[in-house]
Structure 1
Amino acid sequence: MTDPEVTTDVLIVGAGPVGLTLACDLARRDVDVRVIDRADAHPVGTRARGVRARTQEVLEDLGVIAELIEHAETPIPTRFYDAEGRLVREATIYDPPPVPGAPYPGSLIVGQQFTEAALRGSFESSGRRVELGVELTDIAQHHDAVTAMVRVGGELRRIRARYLVGCDGAGSTVRKRARISFLGETWDDRQRMLFGNLGVDGLDSTVAHMWATGPGGMLTLYPMPKSRTWFFTAPLPPRSGPDDAPITVETFTEAFARHVAMPGVSFRDPVYLSVYQVNVRMVDRYRDRRVFLAGDAAHVHSPAGGQGMNTGIQDAYNLGWKLAEVITGAPESLLDTYEEERMPIAEHVLASTTTRSKSWAGSDTMRVSGRIVEAFQGRDPFADTSQLGITYRGGSLTVETGEPLKVRAGDRAPDARGVDSTTNGDVRLFDLFRGSHITLLIFGHGPIPQLPPGVHVHRVLPAATRRDPSESVFIDETGEARDLYGVEGDGLVLIRPDGYIGLTTDDPKTSAVAEYLRKILAVAPPKPTSPRADR
């Protein structure tokens, strides 16, 4: 039996952190969006637990960071042991030094079930809900829409959408039905990992524990009091035959005994148990006409450095505003910039996590632990695990005229603290950026260019300077904003809805701003705009 078609603007397949991030971003832009997932219940367990610095900024913009902080684990020391069980090093690895322009320099350790619950709650507060037990079976593309065939309780139904986004993981049905290649390798004989949450007796729960085990990686036990459980990872030996034995508490007990000679430690009360098979793969394209891929559906890699969920969330954050603008009339070519910007990032993540994984392997605990500490203290030799340094420089959505500033078009826009001229209260640049709009910062007293509706304009001025009381002024009391952005005289900095800089210029009279906006917004006659605190 096939029901009549149901229509929507965007259909998201997969209700993990990536799909939910995209759903929240589209919902706040008043885009008609549906989220389906084949699971019958929302999953539990720690799974992806490291919410990196840039991801925290994204989640602040989406209004859920406070809830995640509430569920975040308190940073604790990690003890590193050698193969004989001797303590080699103790360090607090998730508490790095402050980073200028970054309100969240460190990582939040949060069970993925809490991350998903926060995003899901935000999405459902818009009057929508995640549809569980809905399995995608096929897709058909048309010149103006996509038809998704889904199975619900044994019945086939159709959902017609203007666009479809696959956020359905490494085994993505969307990717397969769109016939998009998933190129790379599976580390069958090199690395398989046990992942799980369970109770532990006989270990100090005020610290985390890591043992160097040789080529397969580290065995770790990390207490998660907010989840009332421990997160356990351990390498498995290469398969010698079919691997269909069930994963039980005994599997983890045997893995611990195989690698760690420590009597008196026992395991109980499993919450989530799984085998993680390392794949290093990515797609050859992020888009097939009206079908897009994001997160693990587009790229998978070693877990070393905790980049998977964070990279996927940034995929969704990059795509969301572009879909919304095109749906409301922006040029279709804007959607081509999703692959242009995100594919090089995925390539870099695959390369850096593979190198990092090999670097972290081995039984030399002093060397391995040193590399792990470096990675999360901002000194990783392979890549910035905070993802604050991700840039889209040189892309088609970057424009620079005049003398380059300290920040460049394509870079993440840094945060700074100042005073709001309309309230005389403390304010951050991120407060001005928060929301679905584009922001134009005008440093100095230059004229305001003609702008279409919806662009928020704020002048940035030192404390001791004249200002127009009708304008929204960010009073840069300490000079932090001018220093971070590297503006010496007058200048304009245009910030995209995803917090990246689209345009910089030191010439306020340039037509570059209007020309840039025509590439990313629905065409509309510009009109003079006065700076307002329209937040």
Structure 2
Amino acid sequence: MTDVLVIGAGPTGLTLAIDLARRGVGVRIVDTAAGPSNASRGKGLQPRTLEVFDDLGVIGPILDIARPYPPMRAYVGSEVVWEGALGESRPASPDVPYPSIRMLPQSITEAILRDRLASFGVAVEYGTTVGHVTADATATLADGSVIEADYLVGADGGRSTVRRALEIPFLGETFETERMALADVRFAPGLLDREHWHIWGDLATQELALGLCPLPGTDVFQLTAPLAPGEEPSDLQNLVLGRSGRTDLVIQETTWESLYRVNIRLASSYRVGRSFLAGDAAHAHSPAGGQGLNTGVQDAYNLGWKLASGSAALLDSYQAERQPIAAAVLGLSTLLLRGDSAAPQRGQDTDQLDLHYRDSALSQDRRRVRSGLQAGDRAPDAVLPDGTLFDRFRGPSPTVLVYQARYADAIELDADAARTYGVGGGGFVVVRPDGYVGLLADADQGDAVAVYRTTLL
């Protein structure tokens, strides 16, 4: 018997396992693959995800390898005809320490997360195929053995065994005519510089024919090539030569390849009994805007502390908070995929810093005069005499902030931070374990803080 069984060892499952392990929760994480993946897959880490990784203790190794998205360089054959950036890089600020998306192949992200999980004495159990699960958090493996747990989480991707076993509808569409060849390929050193994302296509219509993006921490490029209806990527080498118009782009090695179909879907429920869904098992996105991996990581970050508590009210809030977020993100990524003129711009609209839980039952605002942040918003960082607020948030417990008020073990805000948090006249802020504002209260409402904190434990 284990406390929590996590099925799937991608970024979502690994994030959840780390969050549980650091809280002292017994966790097992299994994956049907024979071993770790070497695929680049999701390569964009949004600012909010970087904040999650800061809290989980992996931001150092992530930033050691991750790089800003490179500028794009468009060609006709070998001739450069346009250069530009995918989005503007923004400077760090006291409240947003990681303001811009960073690129890192998913395989490296997963390796860093596995190392962190191992520091808690937990290893991924590869080669473990789950044949069936039940609502009471029981998993039957392909070899006939059974794992019983207090809770079970399916983080096993778009073709989730867990979702299918629980008979949860996966609502939406698969666009069979909208497909893309994806691959990690290696060329002779120096053939293409690694400071640009190299693209070929129609600049007038902004239709991509071929993209070759250098991946940090590797010597390979991620190949992306949209396919026409009926077209099959049977020969990547001929595809590269034909679409680039260059005879010198000879692939030396292909380390991973995949055929991607545009799949826009959302699970009708994130939970049946004591079994849950997270990540791609709960929502399938287009790759546009770099939202899928990041939304899954934040599903896990939302769910971990709630599973650790065992509170029925907290566990009920998981779907209520995360399903609307996924629905909104699916709409955003679909607009970006379609190139819709009404689509938000990459950057602040896609960095997930503005996503909130204002409508959640866990978000309470007791201030008589409301300004600044609202309950349910992401809690911003701020500089303290001995570090930052994020330094103090790091860990498994809620945090109480005060300004011109008294509360045991609280962190005193300065005037600037108090105004940012909307308690410039004095008061209290309770920040949830996942870094969102749970409670805002005036200086004479200290009793409300004590009552509210009990709901988060």
Q: How far apart, CA to CA, are the structure 2 residues paired with 1:121 and 1:257?
A: 39
How far residue 215 of structure 1 moved from its aligned partner, in angstroms, is 8.5
Of the three residues 111, 114, 131, the one matched with 1:137 is 131
Identical columns (%): 41
3-state DSSP of counterpart to 1:266: coil
Q: Does 1:23 align with 2:17?
A: yes
1:220 aligns to what?
Answer: 211
2:146 aligns to what?
Answer: 158
Which segments of 5 or more consecutive residues in structure 1 lack a partner in the other structure?
1-6, 361-366, 379-383, 421-426, 450-455, 461-475, 522-535
Q: How does 1:343-354 map to 2 (within 5 A)?
A: 343-354=323-334
1:172 aligns to what?
Answer: 160
1:359 aligns to what?
Answer: 339
Name the CA shift for 1:228/1:333 in 2 (closer, same or farther; >3 Å). same
Of the three residues 254, 258, 265, the one matched with 1:274 is 258
Q: How far apart, CA to CA, are the structure 1 residues paired with 2:282 and 2:115?
A: 26
CA deviation map 1:42-84 (0-9, x unaligned): 1002111111100000001000111111221365322134799
Q: Does 1:237 align with 2:222?
A: no
Of the three residues 437, 442, 466, the one matched with 2:397 is 437
TM-score (norm 1): 0.80
CA deviation map 1:115-172 (0-9, x unaligned): 1111111111111211011111012334xxx211012xxx321000011000000000
1:499 aligns to what?
Answer: 435
How far residue 433 of structure 1 moved from its aligned partner, in angstroms, is 0.5
Contact in 2 for aligned 1:8/1:162 (Cα 8 Å): yes
Q: How far apart, CA to CA, are the structure 2 residues paired with 1:207 and 1:90?
A: 10
Contact in 1 for aligned 2:432/2:456 (Cα 8 Å): no
Name the CA shift for 1:11/1:216 in 2 (closer, same or farther; >3 Å). farther
Q: How far apart, CA to CA, are the structure 1 residues paired with 2:350 and 2:180?
A: 21
Q: Does 1:69 align with 2:29?
A: no
How far residue 254 of structure 1 moved from its aligned partner, in angstroms, is 2.7
Q: How far apart, CA to CA, are the structure 2 residues paired with 1:169 and 1:501?
A: 30
Name the CA shift for 1:99/1:307 in 2 (closer, same or farther; >3 Å). farther
Q: Does 1:459 align with 2:416?
A: no
Which segments of 5 or more consecutive residues in structure 2 lack a partner in the other structure?
none
Q: Does 1:205 align with 2:164?
A: no
Return the letter of the residue paired with 1:237.
Answer: A
2:318 aligns to what?
Answer: 338
Q: Does 1:315 align with 2:299?
A: yes
CA deviation map 1:468-514 (0-9, x unaligned): xxxxxxxx3xx441232233211100000000000001233353223
1:515 aligns to what?
Answer: 451
TM-score (norm 2): 0.93
Return the letter of the residue paired with 2:443.
Answer: D
Cα RMSD of the aligned pairs, angstroms, is 2.3
Q: How far apart, CA to CA, are the structure 1 residues paired with 2:134 and 2:194?
A: 52
Aligned residues: 452
Q: How far apart, CA to CA, are the structure 1 residues paired with 2:119 and 2:280?
A: 26
2:172 aligns to what?
Answer: 184
How far residue 447 of structure 1 moved from its aligned partner, in angstroms, is 3.0
Contact in 1 for aligned 2:39/2:184 (Cα 8 Å): yes
Q: Does 1:102 align with 2:90?
A: no
How far residue 325 of structure 1 moved from its aligned partner, in angstroms, is 0.9
Bigger radius of gyration, 1 or 2? 1
Q: How far apart, CA to CA, are the structure 2 residues paired with 1:225 and 1:500?
A: 31
3-state DSSP of counterpart to 1:231: strand
Contact in 1 for aligned 2:428/2:442 (Cα 8 Å): yes
How far residue 264 of structure 1 moved from its aligned partner, in angstroms, is 2.4
Return the letter of the residue paired with 1:341.
Answer: E
CA deviation map 1:85-140 (0-9, x unaligned): 65233236362344561100011211111111111111111112110111110123
Contact in 2 for aligned 1:236/1:255 (Cα 8 Å): no
2:373 aligns to what?
Answer: 407
